[in-house]
Structure 1
Amino acid sequence: MFDFLRRHFGGTRAVRHRTEQARPGVQLLASVLVCFPEIQAVSYEPHSGLLTMDFVLRGTVPEDEMEAFAEFLAESIETYQGLEGGMASEMEFTYEHHEGLMMLHLARRMDEVTEREIGLTVQLLTDRFGEALLVDAHGADVPDAEFRQMQHDALDRMLTAVREMPLRDRLVGIRERDQVVVYNR
């Protein structure tokens, strides 16, 4: 009943437009989390245009080692983007300690990041931190390689589409038990 009233009196056009516009962003963030079980949370801030990926390490890493890794990561992303004909104009890498855990935050411009760059980042983190890098057990062992490849291809297409039609909504995606949840903030 209320849907009828909203359609009749409420001007659903604006509501529907906002919902339809948010949907690609929700799908994009969910796909990042599905494709990369190493990423614990992902967010998008439309004002800065930054996509932030959060990783968790068990234990702590000395500050000088984290700084060296941050430089290595920045150089690796710049080199990768240069080889692919892209650019890496902005990258923010921060970290914080929380009772035996470290939270790593990597922010990149949404209009520059690619699925392969995210894959490179995850591989570098895995190579450097190994078992200390927290990986979602529900997403790490997807048995169907074809399904996994389809997810990565879909993510790549969504990242390309976002360059043509930027997202307007502030979004946050997190892992919650065995699910991926995306909030429109």
Structure 2
Amino acid sequence: MAVPVQQYLAVDGSPVELVERSPEPSPVLDRLARLAPWLRRTHVVAEDERLRVSGAFPHGEITFWGPVAGRQLEPFVELLRALATREVDYDTPATPGRLAELTRSVALGVGVSSQCPYCPSVAAAALRIACAGPRVDVVIARADLGLFGDVRAVPTIRVDGVVRRTGPTSEWQLVELVTA
């Protein structure tokens, strides 16, 4: 059974900061900020839409290019709750341990579409990976709006700027890509 967003975000949590760059403040982010008292939001007027998300514990840099909309709302809300509660629901308990072995920083990018059936699960997995520690920076980019370069299929996964995979990808497959 699905839990309503209002109930899902009704948790005691550490502050989560959102820095939104866009022509206008997002009504979706307005609504979420009203539902979660621990959510802090800053809006900066800018042409290119970007959203930077940060929590109170060490994690990778998390940025969304383009509006968070459609099927991308679910992984975004899951991220907010995980950052607020420090409770990340990894697909496998080995994920944080394997990522702790990283000795270098890695850029993980996922090109998505707001209506893609596989994009939410891949985006959610990438966002959980960013929560595992400070070495993996994640960008979720709206490829359907031309914000991720030349993309032929979604989701498209780039590691350090190089396309490594397209299509459905599990959390552990992403871990293997960023630790290779």
Give TM-score, length-normalised by structure 1. Answer: 0.31
Q: Which has the larger radius of gyration?
A: 1
Give TM-score, length-normalised by structure 2. Answer: 0.31
